[in-house]
Amino acid sequence: MFRVPLLIAVSLVIAFGGGILTTLSALNASAGFGAIRLGVWRAFPDAQKVEADPYAKSHRAKAGRLLLGAAEGLVFTASSDEDGNQLTGTCSYRIVGRTPAARLWTLYAANRSGRPLVAREGQPSAHHSQAILRNRDGSFEITVSPTAKPMNWLALPDTGAFSLVLTLLDTPAAGSSGLVGLEMPKVESLGCGQ
C-alpha cells in the first residue's frame, strides 16, 4: 500500500540529492573554462568577463567576491610546487624569478576557499611589488615558511594545504595579446618540518 509512494520518495531524494552534489562538486572543481597555465601558476581570464560561461558565473556568485575587470588585472594561483607536490603549511618554499610587467602586484597565501591566511601578529602575511627587496637584475626571492627567514619572508600559519595568490594589477597580461611569452616566478620546495 505504501510501497509505491515510498519508492517515488526515495527516487526523488536520490535524484535531487545527486543533482545538488554534482552541481556543488562542479563548482568547487573549477572557476570555469578557458584557464591558462604558466608553470605552476594558473589563471581564468575569461571568468572576469560579462560573457563568462555559466560555471564561471556560478563560481563567482558562490564565492561572493568581485573580480577585476578585464583591463584591470589578472589573478594567478599556485597550489603545487615545481615538483608537483601540494603546498602545505608545514613546509618551506622559495618563490624566485620575475613577474610579468605590471604597475603593481600582490602576493599572499590563501586557504582552499580562497580566503587569505592570517599569520601571527607582527608577521608578514602578504607582499607587494613596491616593498620587495630585489636582486640587481630585477629578480626577487621570497621565502614562504612558518619560521622566520631573512630578506623577503611570507609567514605561514601552521596549516594544511594552501595556495599562493599572485595578483597582477594594470598589466598587459590581462589582455589576450599579453599572454604570449609571460615569465612567472618558480615555486621551489625547501623542505618540510624544521
DSSP state letters, the chain: --HHHHHHHHHHHHHHHHHHHHHHHHHHH-S-S--EEETTEEE-GGGGSTT--HHHHHHHHHHT-PPPPTTTEEEEEE-B-TTSPBPBTTEEEEEEE-PPS-SEEEEEEE-TTSPBPPPPTTS--EEEGGG--B-TTS-EEEEEESS--SSSEEE--S-SB-EEEEEEES-GGGSGGGGTT----EEEEEEE--
- For residues 192 and 185, the answer to whether their CB atoms sit within 8 Å is no
35-64 confidence digits (pLDDT tens)? 777 889 888 776 666 666 676 666 666 666
- For residues 93 and 190, the answer to whether their CB atoms sit within 8 Å is yes
What local confidence, expressed as pLDDT, does residue 78 receive? 92
Taking 70 as the pLDDT cut, the residues of the chain under it are 1, 26-34, 46-53, 55-71, 173-181, 194
What local confidence, expressed as pLDDT, does residue 69 receive? 63
What local confidence, expressed as pLDDT, does residue 94 receive? 94
Here the cell at position 53 is: 560561461
Q: Closest Cα partner for 102 from 135, 66, 138, 145?
A: 138
What local confidence, expressed as pLDDT, does residue 96 receive? 95
**pTM attached to this predicted model:** 0.76
Here the cell at position 170 is: 594594470
CB atoms near residue 52 (< 10 Å) = 21
What local confidence, expressed as pLDDT, does residue 68 receive? 66
What local confidence, expressed as pLDDT, does residue 165 receive? 92
- Pairing relationship of beta strands 104-110 and 163-169 according to DSSP bridges: antiparallel
What local confidence, expressed as pLDDT, does residue 185 receive? 92
